[in-house]
């Protein structure tokens, strides 16, 4: 078992990424939780429920519980396709580079599934009660960013995930250095986002969230350029 920043991941066999296994079965059941929850609360829902929230976390579009169900089905479809692509990247990568990060993709598969499921549960909960949507969603995204930072350090060079800039794809040394830095920045940034967005009012929390997200996204990108320039000066000048 490997652990970093408080998160742990179990070793994974290559065969686990090729066949439908116990993990896939558990995650499949996980995707059914929002619909079980909706089935339970459906009779108690009002005739008009929030379907969309604005930047301040306030509902700005309403519809019927049936429309809520349709929205959840659409979100589930998008989520399932997304996580399945991540799940089977080692098999569909034409360059066969993703296979070296099979364990990372497994962890992303789990983490993204959890994120989608919790988002749906929060949406359903908001339909039956009044609360600031972003006071839940922004801290949740902060936790997810911290999770991404935890797994980012171990992503091997590939064309699908990670900090994919011309400089990281050109140099494995730059890739490793950039992802080592990015892992620390995303983990720390995710924790900071979680704490700050829990404390600040929703409107201000949204602005801080956008600012911090921009910083943790751009910092590793800029770093990759300067690291490559420092260690591959001739390639820059050609």
Q: With 0.85 as the threshold, say if the pTM is over it.
A: no
Rounded alpha-carbon distances, angstroms, from residue 58 to 47, 131, 143? 18, 9, 22
Lowest-confidence segment of 5-9, 30-34, 137-141 by average pLDDT:
5-9
pLDDT digits (tens, 9 = 90+) for 148-182: 999 888 888 877 788 989 999 899 999 999 999 99
Helix (H, G, I), strand (E, B) or coil at 160: coil
Write the CA distances from 40 to 27, 34, 43, 124, 128, integer angstroms: 21, 10, 7, 11, 12
Lowest mean pLDDT among 10-24, 126-140, 174-188, 210-224: 10-24
Least confident stretch, 50-54, 190-194, 200-204: 50-54
**Structural domain of residue 173, as residue ranges?**
2-237
Domain count, the chain: 1
Could you read off the pLDDT of 81-130 as tens digits, one per residue?
Answer: 888 777 777 676 666 665 666 677 778 888 888 998 998 888 888 887 76
């Amino acid at each position: 078992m490997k652990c970093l920043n408080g998160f742990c991941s179990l070793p994974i066999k290559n065969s686990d990424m090729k066949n439908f296994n116990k993990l896939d079965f558990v995650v499949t059941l996980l995707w059914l939780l929002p619909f079980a929850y909706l089935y339970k609360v459906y009779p108690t829902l009002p005739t008009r429920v929030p379907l969309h929230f604005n930047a301040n976390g306030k509902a700005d579009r309403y519809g019927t519980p049936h429309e809520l169900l349709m929205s959840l089905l659409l979100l589930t479809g998008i989520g399932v396709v997304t996580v399945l692509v991540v799940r089977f990247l080692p098999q569909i990568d034409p360059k066969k580079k993703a296979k070296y990060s099979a364990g990372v993709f497994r962890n992303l598969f789990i983490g993204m599934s959890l994120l989608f499921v919790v988002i749906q549960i929060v949406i359903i909960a908001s339909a039956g009660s009044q609360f600031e949507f972003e006071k839940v969603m922004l801290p949740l995204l902060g936790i997810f960013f911290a999770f991404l930072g935890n797994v980012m350090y171990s992503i091997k060079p590939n064309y699908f995930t990670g900090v994919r800039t011309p400089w990281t794809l050109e140099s494995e040394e730059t890739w490793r250095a950039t992802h080592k830095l990015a892992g620390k920045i995303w983990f720390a940034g995710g924790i900071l986002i979680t704490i700050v967005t829990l404390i600040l009012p929703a409107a201000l929390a949204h602005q801080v969230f956008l600012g911090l997200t921009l910083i943790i996204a751009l910092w590793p990108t800029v770093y990759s350029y300067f690291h490559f320039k420092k260690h591959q000066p001739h390639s820059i000048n050609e």
